[in-house]
Structure formats: structure tokens, C-alpha cells
Structure 1
């Protein structure tokens, strides 16, 4: 039986999932305001990693308009917008395979109705993204747990033992299910969540969070009049007396700041500890008060090496949560070790990969340099986004899935955007400025972020006119000595590839002479010279799947 484990939140992410505000009766007069705050959170996270926003069917255009081009929007049925709690909890297997645990969801003990669609959303998301589902009959929200990725889980008795969750399960049975489904070996029970946290009955993500193995940050209000002043000190005492799964005592960082604001006539606490750890960053809910600066400084010290960004989240707090509550990280699947012939070395020949129209392909990989990383450049065309899909991303996702099924390590890199502007701004083609691309790759929504150590990079775009830019990007990256792009292969799909099936095609090639050529009514074949490394991929016009190809 395969053992899966929940990785720590600071490990590398493939992206982040969010849900667009849906339950209007929860927000009342501040419904429009909370949409703006959700959009700001999404944009802040999208500066670090891809964000997929799930909107209720018919709400996608609104979400796209407010979130901007850096956020992908898809439409699925929803009841509410708290994916930390209703979404799947992702886990990794020993060989790096990713799965999602689908715990039951009952809207925090039946506080809101209906919730039956949200009880099914985890399964729907896993099916949509092609991720294996692990079922659990236990009710559990993701905000109720924090893990170190090394066997330790912290939760609160106030929440998990509340009779409105799993009244027929004992504490020992709940702990056993956490161990079985999330791969932990030790559960630490804090007595309290927030006293004012009546919405979730005291989730741990409001009072304690792992920030490194053996290291936690805890809410510890400095104001003696705060309702949690003594309760949080009781929590701290439990941690002081405990050790983690590896036997280490905890390093405890105190977060003394607290902020209260008025939203729609109601006093609301904005919890700074409800932050989201992204790739290279931390997005923190802030109140717009004098306490913000001190809280951000504590969090920055707790998570060194990450850019800390505060996002005003007053209305989100009014609804009962924070940035962590409305997000769910998707961890990057670990790269499987290449499997060669017995004794190591040598190339592995994957199974033939059947295309959607019967085409076949063989993918050759060898040694330790077998991984293929597909870098998708989201479409700049509004009419494509408005249809709820993105051609380049669909190519990349389909290609990575089919490569993995063929036994080839493959993944889609965390990417925001690649446009011709990257070539202009980064000075591609100018030898003395090529090194600027390394900075441009981390620069934001008009750049590409690729994890180091990859053996093959495939840059995927949906506009034929960017073929020269993509080819030049590959050459410039190699010239700059970037290891991940040695032997980079480049493929571009034309705009017509995902337009109306049978739409008139235009034959054209890019002015640089290295871009793709499209032949009316036939398969698109893109070939780029890559310094002795050859690559070809075929894309069938009118659908989003590779029809086979060869990497050498």
C-alpha cells in the first residue's frame, strides 16, 4: 500500500487554488468589497506562483475582470469560497506522485446552507486536474491543521473535538485518521483556537503555524485585555513541553500584534497569522492600522529569504477568515528518478504515446537529465480567456500528463506569462544583456519562472508570431549558461490550433526563420534547432492534445 504524506506549506508549489466569492448572504452590503479583496490576494500570490480561481458558472467574466491577466479563471459549481477548508488536501507519494485527500465538509458544523456542492468540490477539482483522489469519511477542514512535512501535525481540541464535526469518533480515532491519510506520525493537540473564531470553532491557522521543521509561529496577544491573552499562553505552554516527530524541541516565535477594525458596523479582528506561504514569498492579511508594520516584521523574521507582502483583508476577516483560509497550495510533484536498464545509465524508451487521433510517439530520455519541463505562456487574447480555457496551458498540461503516463518525468513549470515584451525588456538578442533574462524570469507577470535543475525545457505559446521570441529566449538562456535550458526545445502552437475547428488557416512563418510553420488543414509541426539537440512536437488543430513527438 502506497504511503502518502502532506508536504509542508513552504515546499515548492505548482500553483495555488482559490474560489471566487459566491455566498452573497454571508457578505451582505460588503459583497463587492470582498470581491476586490479576493482579487488583490490572487494578484499578490500570482506574483510568486500561478493562481487558478474557480468561479461559479456565470461569474467567470467578473472574476477575470477583477483579477487581471495573471490569474487563470475556470468555472465549476460552488456554494462558498473557502478552499482551504472545502478543497482537497494534496499529498505526495514516495515516488513523488501527487494525490488529493477528499475529506468530508459540512460548512463548519452546519453553519451555512447549502453546502452539499462544496462537499463535492474537492472531488470535482481532482477530476478536473487529473489528480488521484483519496477518500476519507471524516469531516476535516484544511485550516484545522498545520504540518511540518516531516511527520508532525498540530491541531486544536476546540475544533477537531467539537461535536458538530465528528460526534461518533473518539480523539484517538480522529488522530488515527490524520495519521493514515496525511502520513504524519505525531499529532500535537493545542487546547485552544481563537475565542472569537466562532465561524470555524477555533482553527489552528489562526493561532499557530509551522514555518520550518521544529519552528512555529504563534499568536500571543500583548494586550492583557485581549480575549485570547491567557488562552494563547496555555497553547504556548503545550508547545514548550512538546517535541516534534523527530524528537526536537520547538523554536517558538511570538506574534504579539492584533488589530481590530469596524466592517459594516461590526468589530472584526484581522488575524496576521493567517498568511499564505508562496514560492519565494509570504502574503499576509493586514488591517491598514499601525499594528501592521510590526506584524509584518515578525513574519519576515520567521520566514527569512521570502518577500513579505501585506494585502488589506478587512472584509475577508469579517467573513470569518484570512488569506490562508481562502487559498489552497498545490505542491509540486517530486521528480521521479529516471529509470534506466538494470545497472543504471542508458536511455529509457517510454511506451508509445497514442494521440487523440491515433498518432503515436516515442519519448527518449536518458541518465539523470530526463525530466521535461513545459513552460506555458497564457494567452493574451481576451476572447480565448473568456471561453474559460487557455490554449498554451492546455497543451502543457496535456503534454505533461501524457509524458508521465509514458514513464517520462514531466511537469508544468510555475509560470505567469511570456510575451514579446519579455524579449524587449530583457534585451534578448543583445549578447551583453542576455544575463538580464535571469532577472526577468523572476520579475513578475510578464516573465517566466523555471525551477533550476531541469534537463529539458519546452516553451509553449499559442501565438505563431512569438515563435522567434521563444526560440531567441532559448538561445539566450543557453548563452547565459543557465543549466535548466541546456538542450532546450521550443514549441509554439498557432492561434488557430484552438480556435473554431476547421477555421481557415494562414500559412506563415516568423521573420527570424526559426519559428513554426502552419499548413492549412494539416498537423502543425514545429522544429527548432537547439545546438545539436533536436525536438519535434505535433499539435492537432482544433483540440488541446499532443499527437506524439520525440525528445532526444
Structure 2
């Protein structure tokens, strides 16, 4: 990797957020209309503040996307649609991880995506970044393809050289089985420009397919603050592992050798899907935007508590609740369906032929 490139934190000024639009051939099909309204609401809020890059499965999906964006009241001139086949819609994990250098130039890291350890099909999703790049969607940004299996939801960075992750995910035997923890740390340092790695060994959410992605559990709010998903119900199966995770977070130290300021996020009451699987309801799965933060909500009394606590953590950003129970029915949430693209010295993408919305 060229020297000088690092992975910026999510609060770095952004040019755009990338989405992958659900379509009838995905698992969203039985509730497609409802979930498309959620995606359109997310795209609307993004478009008020920055651009939206949307990968649509085919020409029919482009037309459907246009209709939903218009109905939601999105800023259509900021919505850029490209036709790219997809298996599913979790852009956080199949989208590019974008690095920056001090000159403000961007480089896209296209890591291998194998659907969270070979759990589902991912042959189309694994090619989305390359297809978008070939269509000029990322403009002048460079592209580097890595053989390492790595999902964007599995890592958090503070912009000061620290990366936070979980051993359950990165050491999963179906991701990079040939590498030890030390080798994975070396790869993260080399390919993402980080200097130190903090490992969480506890914490999980039932119904989660990702093997404990960090973005469902603990998130940097700034280099000195971590918001984390807590559980205060001793009768809940999550209580002990999330208490252990909180203790691990308390033991971590920042670059200055001081404890992190920790913000516990409230616990939503249990909900289940039609098959009896518990839904992974996490308030840690928020998305930071320019001047705003999108907060997943679950029609639960804890929604307002989560909003209040994150508003205090992000006083310069408007915290906007987005109902996300429909996303949770497919075992993810708001952050999982998005991938931010930092602002670049050069415009990081251009309009494709499918993006003429007005």
C-alpha cells in the first residue's frame, strides 16, 4: 500500500454514502415495499446533506428506486444510480473501505466479501465495487483489490491510529483461516494505516449473522469516547456477555494512556421474526453523516433514551431517528446497509447513465 494513506473515522467530512437497493430476488422479497420505504427514508436524509450513490440490480430496479426516492422527497439531483447486479443489500460489508492521504486523495480498498464466513451467496456482491469503479462511479479515486476477507462493519477507527474489532469476527475460521491473530493485525496495519488494534472478546447479539460485528456493539464517537450497546436486564441472555464486554471497554486505554469515556446505549425489549428468531436490535448501529447522525429505532421506549444520549455525544450533529425494525427482520440495521465515502480533493464519483433523475 502506498505510504500516507489511512482509514479516516466516520465523522470525517463525507462526499457521499453508498447503498445497494433491495430487489425481488433478495430475501427482502416478502416485505419489499415496506423495506424499500425504509431505504428511501435513509437516502432522503443523506441527500439533504451529501450525495447518495445507489447500486441497483437491473433497469427495473433503477425505475423502482427512482419512484421511491421521489415519493420520499429525496434531493434527486444528489442521488446517483448505477446498474450493478447484487445478491443482497448490506453495503457496509461489500462496499469499498476508503482511505485518505494528507493531500486529500482517496483510495478504495476492495476486500474480499464471502457473506460473513460463507453463510450465504455473495458472488455478485463481491464484485459490486469493481463494477461501480469500471462505470466511473468513484471518479479519480484509486482502487486496490485485497485478497483479505474483511467487512466494513467489523472494524471501527478513531482517526488517531487505533482500530477496534472483535475476535469472534476477525478470527472466524471461515474468513482468513490461514492467518493467525498476529498476521491479521499486521495486515490491518499495512492495508488500513492503523497503528494499534483493540480486541473485544465478549459481546454478541442473538440473530446476528456477522459473528459479532463491532458496529452492532461499540462505536467510536471521537478519539476519546466509545458508545456501546449495554444490557441492564439480568434475566436476558445478553446480560452476562454484554457486561463482560463493558468491562473490557473499561480496561482499554486511549493513545494518551487514559480510560475512554464510555456511553452505555439502552437495551430494547426483545422482538422476534415469524420463525421465532430473535431480532438483533442495536442502537450502536447508527450512521454518522455531515452535520447529522441517523439513529435506528425499534418502536421501543428505549428509542428516546438512545437519541438523548447520542445527542449529547454528538452536540454538533442533529440526531435523526429512523424506524428500522424492517431492517432488523433480515438481521441487520441502519449502519449495515450504508457505506460512507469521505470527501476527496477530487470529486470521488461521477454520474452514471442510470442516474439522470431529473
Q: Cα offset for 1:390?
A: 3.6
Inter-CA distance 23–252: structure 2 relative to 1 (3 Å threshold)? farther
Inter-CA distance 270–195: structure 2 relative to 1 (3 Å threshold)? closer
Q: Cα offset for 1:26?
A: 2.0
3-state SS of 1:116 partner: coil
The match for 2:132 is 125
1:205 matches 2:206: no
Maintained 8 Å contact 2:268/2:301: no
1:66 matches 2:73: no
**Larger Rg over CA atoms:** 1
3-state SS of 2:307 partner: helix
Return the match for 1:93 from 97, 101, 121: 101
The match for 2:6 is 5
C-alpha distance after superposition, 1:78-130 (max 9, x if no partner): 221111000100000232210011111101111112x1121121222334323
3-state SS of 1:133 partner: strand
1:232 matches 2:242: yes
Which structure 1 segments of 5+ residues have no match?
336-372, 379-384, 392-461, 463-552
Maintained 8 Å contact 1:259/1:269: no
Please report the TM-score for the alignment, with normalisation by the length of structure 1: 0.59
Inter-CA distance 4–246: structure 2 relative to 1 (3 Å threshold)? farther
Matches within 5 A, 1:284-323: 284-323=295-334
Cα separation, 1, equivalents of 2:62 and 2:147: 31
3-state SS of 1:270 partner: coil
Q: Cα offset for 1:321?
A: 0.9
The match for 1:223 is 233
After superposition, the CA RMSD in angstroms is 2.3
1:389 matches 2:355: yes
Larger RCO (CA under 8 A, 6+ residues apart): 2
1:83 matches 2:83: no
The match for 1:327 is 338
Maintained 8 Å contact 1:9/1:277: yes
Maintained 8 Å contact 2:163/2:197: yes
Matches within 5 A, 1:248-397: 248-264=258-274, 266=276, 267-333=278-344, 388-390=354-356
Return the match for 1:181 from 182, 191, 207: 191
Cα separation, 1, equivalents of 2:355 and 2:68: 17
Maintained 8 Å contact 1:276/1:324: yes
Cα separation, 1, equivalents of 2:187 and 2:124: 24
Maintained 8 Å contact 2:207/2:279: no
Deviates most, 296-305 or 6-15: 296-305
Q: Cα offset for 1:74?
A: 2.0
The match for 2:32 is 31
Return the match for 2:115 from 107, 118, 124: 107
Maintained 8 Å contact 1:147/1:154: yes
3-state SS of 1:321 partner: coil
Maintained 8 Å contact 2:266/2:302: no
C-alpha distance after superposition, 1:343-374 (max 9, x if no partner): xxxxxxxxxxxxxxxxxxxxxxxxxxxxxx9x
The match for 1:433 is none
C-alpha distance after superposition, 1:414-466 (max 9, x if no partner): xxxxxxxxxxxxxxxxxxxxxxxxxxxxxxxxxxxxxxxxxxxxxxxx9xxxx
1:171 matches 2:171: no
Maintained 8 Å contact 1:30/1:264: no
3-state SS of 2:335 partner: coil
Moved over 6 A (4+): none
C-alpha distance after superposition, 1:250-273 (max 9, x if no partner): 111111232433444644242111
Q: Cα offset for 1:29?
A: 2.1
Please report the TM-score for the alignment, with normalisation by the length of structure 2: 0.90
Cα separation, 1, equivalents of 2:345 and 2:287: 21
Matches within 5 A, 1:413-432: none
Which structure 2 segments of 5+ residues have no match?
none
Maintained 8 Å contact 1:29/1:264: no
C-alpha distance after superposition, 1:217-237 (max 9, x if no partner): 011111112222121222222
Inter-CA distance 47–270: structure 2 relative to 1 (3 Å threshold)? farther
Q: Cα offset for 1:151?
A: 0.3
The match for 2:17 is 16
Cα separation, 1, equivalents of 2:109 and 2:236: 36
Cα separation, 2, equivalents of 1:46 and 1:169: 40
Deviates most, 64-73 or 139-148: 64-73
Maintained 8 Å contact 2:16/2:50: yes
Maintained 8 Å contact 2:112/2:126: yes
